Amino acid sequence: MNFAANIKSKFPKVGTTIFTKMSAMAKEHGALNLSQGFPDFSPPASLIKAVSHYMEAGMNQYAPMAGLTSLRERIAEKMYENYSAQYNPESEITIVPGGTIGIYAAIASVVKDNDEVIIFEPAYDSYVPAIEANGGKAIFAELKFPTYKPNWDEVKKLTTARTKMIIINTPHNPTGSILSAQDMMKLEKLVKDRDIVILSDEVYEHIIFDGVEHQSIARFPELAKRSFLVYSFGKTYHATGWKMGYVLAPEALTEEFRKIYQYMAFACNTPMQYAFAEILKEKELYLGLSEMYRERRDYFVNGLKGSRFKLKPSVGTYFQLLDYSKISDLGEMEFAEWLVKEKKIAAIPVSSFYRKNDNHQVLRFCFAKNNDTLDKGLEILCKL
């Protein structure tokens, strides 16, 4: 008997993530990797020094399940200073090993069999598996191409008695679009007098450009009282491999969240928590992030002038969408694979963020790179 052959997959349609696939192809073919979203520069020197200090000081055992009190207090201060929102460090803030676990635990804490969860396509790829693993059903709204703006009338029509959660992501991965204050007010009106939980994925909160202000759910009290907010230290401090983040929610939601989370990871990296509690005092590091990444975005965009790509506006994140319709008739996955194999540069097909693999001939490139890296990419792209 072949036991392995008789195992019935819980997720028969789920394969390797597009990020893993494209990074592996980049490595195999010696291609420049502008696909997966990670910087090629180091975290702040003071942060690395602080982590080393706390490791050497012996802070290497389990942290409290919810996270170090000092770190949660710093986060509460930051939320008040940035969004005029008050969160109790003890009962409404939880430190987690990365945003993805935070997203999963938030979904798992409230979604039950046959609950419906509305998400917006193109959607970050961890949402649907987390929903389905917990017995829920993903309901798909659309960010309208080419502006990638939501249609709230459409969302209202998708809302039923079974709607348990709506997931939003701003600034948005993969498109670089954002939700405005008007969007938030429309969402607030939509869920009023309904038992709908909001999950707000805000991991790129400090990477937003052109004088636009991040409209966190935390700014809107009527939404905040029903919302999970997910954040990432990795995105803010150029340390994606450290897998550190945090989740905020009202006490009742946090209580349910921690019931799940304690059996997923229990706690996360202790010396890093001490270090983040310390570095959050250096406010210029996160307050200056928008300008630092705006310069990189503009460097990349200006370098593409004269190319055959059409650029989609990137208002946030460290991703730039490029429309290649004047270059090739190939579908997005085919063109992305061709680029890796033949031109030695890797990008992400935006079609991979749709359930039906919609093809708009658009690829996502990461510009969180040093200028030398971007120059190499620009040289390739401008010759296409």
Within the chain, residue ranges assigned H as helices are 18-28, 45-56, 69-83, 99-110, 127-133, 152-158, 181-191, 221-224, 233-236, 251-261, 270-279, 283-287, 289-303, 332-338, 371-381
Q: Edge-to-edge strand order for the sheet containing 245-248?
A: 93-96, 245-248, 227-232, 197-201, 163-169, 116-121, 137-144, 149-150
Q: Is 348 in the same domain as 302?
A: yes
C-alpha to C-alpha distance for 227 and 280, rounded to whole angstroms: 24
Q: Is 182 in the same domain as 143?
A: yes
The enclosing domain of 82 has a CATH number of 3.40.640.10
| In-domain check, residue 57 | no
C-alpha to C-alpha distance for 167 and 123, rounded to whole angstroms: 10
Token readout for 251 is 């006490």
Give the pLDDT confidence score for residue 86 in this predicted structure. 98
Q: How far is the CA of 32 from the CAs of 22, 290, 342, 370, in angstroms?
A: 11, 25, 12, 13
- Domain closes at, from 282, 305, 334: 282
Q: Is 88 in the same domain as 128?
A: yes
Token readout for 255 is 């209580």
What is the pTM (predicted TM-score) of this model?
Answer: 0.96
Give the pLDDT confidence score for residue 5 in this predicted structure. 64
Give the pLDDT confidence score for residue 14 in this predicted structure. 75
56-72 pLDDT per residue, tens: 999 999 999 999 999 99
The enclosing domain of 320 has a CATH number of 3.90.1150.10
- Domain closes at, from 246, 263, 282: 282
| In-domain check, residue 265 | yes
Q: Is 176 in the same domain as 106?
A: yes
- Domain closes at, from 242, 261, 282: 282
Give the pLDDT confidence score for residue 359 in this predicted structure. 84
C-alpha to C-alpha distance for 332 and 363, rounded to whole angstroms: 7
C-alpha to C-alpha distance for 374 and 384, rounded to whole angstroms: 16
Closest of 225, 230, 218 to residue 261, by C-alpha = 230
CA angle 96, 191, 145 (to 5 degrees): 80
Give the pLDDT confidence score for residue 13 in this predicted structure. 72
| In-domain check, residue 158 | yes
Give the pLDDT confidence score for residue 355 in this predicted structure. 87
Q: Please, what sign has the CA dihedral across residues 223, 213, 91, 227?
A: positive
Structural domain that includes position 364:
4-43+287-381
Q: Is 175 in the same domain as 213?
A: yes
C-alpha to C-alpha distance for 94 and 159, rounded to whole angstroms: 29
319-358 pLDDT per residue, tens: 999 999 999 999 999 999 999 999 999 999 999 999 886 7
229: amino acid identity, one letter: L
Under-70 pLDDT residues of the chain: 1-5, 357
Q: Is 212 in the same domain as 82?
A: yes
Is residue 348 a contact partner of residue 22, using CB atoms and an 8 Å limit?
yes
Q: Is 191 in the same domain as 149?
A: yes
Token readout for 102 is 């935070």
Q: Is 189 in the same domain as 273?
A: yes
3 state SS of 173: coil
Give the pLDDT confidence score for residue 219 in this predicted structure. 98
Give the pLDDT confidence score for residue 51 in this predicted structure. 98
Give the pLDDT confidence score for residue 352 in this predicted structure. 92
Q: To the nearest whole number, what is the mean pLDDT of the chain?
A: 95
Q: Is 353 in the same domain as 248?
A: no
